[in-house]
Amino acid sequence: TGGRQDTGAGLMLSHSWSEDVEEFLSAIKEQQAELGIEDDTMTWFCVFSNYQSGDDAGPSIKHQLELEPFKVVIESEDIKKSKAGL
């Protein structure tokens, strides 16, 4: 929508495809402990939130990026209120 909206997410995660998955998981666990983030915190993770197969069965990456999903999550009131919205 491009506008502010509640996502329900209290944590946003993004990554680089060149990143080591085990290192990423370790960093998440470390930050969770340091910030006191509960195990049941609703999380928006780009890997599961953007259709990326490129098989034409779903929306294109271009179309999804036009919806500014990262901006919407970052600017959501839920993220801003959470401990993880630093």
Question: Residues 3-48: pLDDT tens digits?
Answer: 445 567 888 888 877 888 899 899 999 989 998 888 888 888 888 8
Backbone conformation region of residue 59, classed left if phi is above 0, alpha if psi is from -120 to 50, else beta: beta
Spatial contact of 12 and 47, defined as CB atoms under 8 Å apart: no
pTM over 0.85: no
